[in-house]
Amino acid sequence: MKKIKINAFLSRLTDKSFDNKINEILKNMKGNANFENPTPSLEEIEAAFEAYTQASAEAAGGDRLKIAARNEMRKHLEELIEKLAGDVMSVAAGDKVKLTSSGFDLEKDYAATEVTPIKTVTVTNGTGAGEVTVKVGGARRAKAYVYEHTLDPATESSEWTEVIDTKTKHTITGLQSVKRYCFRVAVIGKGGVKIYSHVVTYTVQ
């Protein structure tokens, strides 16, 4: 069975098309009851978009340094949009109406099983107390990752705290020191396909 997908990657768009798509996504996401608490927040994306727009205006004169600064700001904005897309796909869970309401374009159909499972999950101490870094490996064609944790032992009634990231390594802060936690990571593929890893337990320093 094929699932609905959205196009999360805007890097190939021209500057004008890119601006129009960001405006469309922001317009559709504001006040959208399907996505009440998006991650990243719309305020963060709006701030990045405003900074990018200003940098684009300053780069119009052809100054190489200003053009480089604009390009970096666009790259940052693209990364925020990719994270937002991962959150949208996770919340919508393949619902075409919800996905369409987000302002993202729907992708053409591809096999929903294209994404492959995570093979390894490694947890190590972070740089400060109550901080760990979780790293995953083995997944292919992933659009985003959902990093989750809960106190050990994990049961059916456990409440998992989650954060979505597009990178294979994520640092979690604010944990209780000398407490044992359970960690797991879900890989999100095209169309919102979500596959969980095995659970890893680790004592936070």
Domains located in the chain, CATH noted: 15-101 (no CATH), 120-203 (2.60.40.10)
pTM of the complete model? 0.52
Predicted pLDDT of residue 194: 82
**Alpha helix segments (H runs only) across 62-193:** 64-92, 96-101
pLDDT band (50, 70, 90) for residue 3: low
In this predicted structure, what is the pLDDT of residue 108? 63
Q: Is 191 left (phi over 0), alpha (psi -120 to 50) or beta?
A: left
152 neighbors 181 (Cβ within 8 angstroms): yes
110 pLDDT more than 50? no
Over the stretch 59-75, which tens digit does the pLDDT of each residue have? 998 899 999 999 999 99
Statement: residue 1 has pLDDT above 60: no
Residue 98 has pLDDT above 80, yes or no: yes
pLDDT in tens, 125-173: 999 999 999 999 988 888 899 999 999 999 888 899 999 999 999 999 9
The pLDDT value recorded for residue 113 is: 47
| Angle, alpha carbons 33-37-38 (nearest 5°) | 100
Question: pLDDT, tens digit, for every residue of 48-58?
Answer: 999 999 999 99
